[in-house]
Amino acid sequence: MPKTADVAELDRLSAAASDKPKAIFAVGRGRCGKTVAYRWMIDRALKQGRGLIVADGDRTNQTLGAFFPDVESPPSASDDAMRPWLDGLVERAIDQRKSLLLDLGGGDLLLKQTALELDLAGELAQNGVTPVVLHFIGADSDDLAYLRVTERDGLFAPEHTAVIFNVGVVPAGVSPEVALQKHTKDPALMGALSRGGSHLIVMPRLVCMTVVDDARLRFSEAVHPKIGLMNGSRVRLWLRDMETAFAPIVDWLP
């Protein structure tokens, strides 16, 4: 049955939006899974032949460069160097029409400071780049601290905002279901999710993550003697589960 004009137009607009370059900002406390998710996104985008600007701004523990070539780093960890470095990344994403993935250290205030100085989300959107904010949290109630700050007064709260609850960082003996239920009572989280288009994503656990990290392998290299047949199978199943978990925001990914 042929589509109506209205449905066809919606499909066209959706496709156009998904093809727009994205500026992905993963934020939150350290060790909540931001870099792991970025490794998955970068690997996925490269396999699909998509051009990216990948920048690792973690001032104490840069790791993306161990897995991918051409990862950009700031000239130094000082605020005086970091601010123009971020400005340059944003301007290049706009000028080159490329998606940007920026990894900042846990609790880094650079993004907050930039958002205070100017309407970063609005500036990106007006120049044809979709701003995407991914808040990564675990089981600790303090994991919501960055979300509370950025959501307050709309400091950095673009339409494309998702909260990623990473099951992989929930401590042994703590029920992920109970931890997540506790978070969903937080006013900042509820406020973020009440905006149209926002999502809560439950990121699955990869039990052999340490093995993959130690082997310095990309997730797409799961079939590798360094990690063994069984762990390779675990990685492939995890990749399948990641696609399922992130399906609601797949058009936000680079």
108-118 pLDDT per residue, tens: 778 888 887 88
Nearest one of 191, 148, 192, 198 to 29, comparing CA atoms: 148
Q: pLDDT (tens digit, 9 = 90+) per residue, 159-190? A: 899 999 999 999 989 999 999 998 988 998 98
> pTM higher than 0.95 for the full model?
no
Residue 149 pLDDT > 70: yes
Tell me the CATH number for domain 20-207+242-252: 3.40.50.300
Nearest one of 100, 106, 88, 89 to 142, comparing CA atoms: 106
| Torsion, Cα of 84, 88, 91, 92 (10° steps) | -170
Residue 7 pLDDT > 80: no
Question: For the chain, what are the domain ranges?
Answer: 20-207+242-252
Residue 8 pLDDT > 60: no
